[in-house]
Amino acid sequence: MSDAEQPQIYLITPPEIELSHFPTALSQVLDAVDVACIRLSLASRDEDLILRAADAVRDVAHRYDVALVIDTHVVLAQRLGLDGVHLTDGARSVRMARKELGADAIVGAFCAQSRHDGMSAGEAGADYVSFGPVGETALGDGSRADAELFEWWSKMIELPVVAEGGVTAETMRALAPITDFFGIGEEIWRSDDPAAALTALMAAMTG
């Protein structure tokens, strides 16, 4: 990635969404900021809830011509006509997802802090990999994807990379030259004004 380019925003939904107002909040964010992709990332395993959420988010995403992928659920991605799937098990399911969804679908893989998993996912046909968390978060075992990993990836590997998990203004400044996307989710959805929160975070890339 060249110094002249800024990373794009890869927007992640909160794990629980209130369908009565989330589409409005999402629209406000998309009005304020150019977003490359949205990921439906719900904690629930209730199929009906996921289907209703996917319909609501897809309506907004399509209105703004933004791609929508879903965490893990390859079958639902097919059934709902979504743009693809984000896999959370590294490289393990990439070939299967690619075979099921076809060449045109987006297939991404979260690879934690593993270069090896990232490279394996790319070889298996992933369109991007994500590493994280890049900041402080209570999730996982406390391990972080550090700047050295992104610096190595940006020099050695052409496959696009997403930095996600605990993103702050400081990490955005540090990683902007060496990542293609920032995965932003809870960082803004906890705010009373998610659109303003994302705008402020993005300002850190050039600040």
Q: Does 99 fall in a domain?
A: yes
Q: Does 188 fall in a domain?
A: yes
User: From residue 61, how far is each of 35, 156, 189, 205 by CA, in Å?
Assistant: 10, 33, 17, 25
**Positions in the chain short of pLDDT 50:** 1-4
Q: Does 2 fall in a domain?
A: no
Q: Does 79 fall in a domain?
A: yes
Q: What is the pLDDT of residue 206?
A: 78
pTM (two decimals)? 0.96
What does the block give as tokens for 185?
């989710």
Q: Does 1 fall in a domain?
A: no
Q: Residue 112: which CATH number?
A: 3.20.20.70
Q: CA 41, CA 36: separation in Å to the nearest integer?
A: 16
Q: Does 121 fall in a domain?
A: yes
Q: What is the pLDDT of residue 139?
A: 65
In the chain, the percentage of residues whose pLDDT exceeds 90 is 92
The alpha carbons of the chain give a radius of gyration, in whole angstroms, of: 16
Cα 56 from chain centroid (whole Å)? 18
The answer to whether the bond into 133 is cis (omega within 30° of 0) is: yes
Q: Does 154 fall in a domain?
A: yes
Q: What is the pLDDT of residue 142?
A: 79
Q: What is the pLDDT of residue 60?
A: 98
Q: Does 3 fall in a domain?
A: no
Q: What is the pLDDT of residue 5?
A: 80
Per the structure, how many domains does the chain have? Answer: 1
Q: What is the pLDDT of residue 61?
A: 98
Q: What is the pLDDT of residue 3?
A: 44
Which residue segment(s) compose the domain that 100 sits in?
Answer: 8-206
Contact between 133 and 158 under an 8 Å Cβ cutoff? The reply is: no
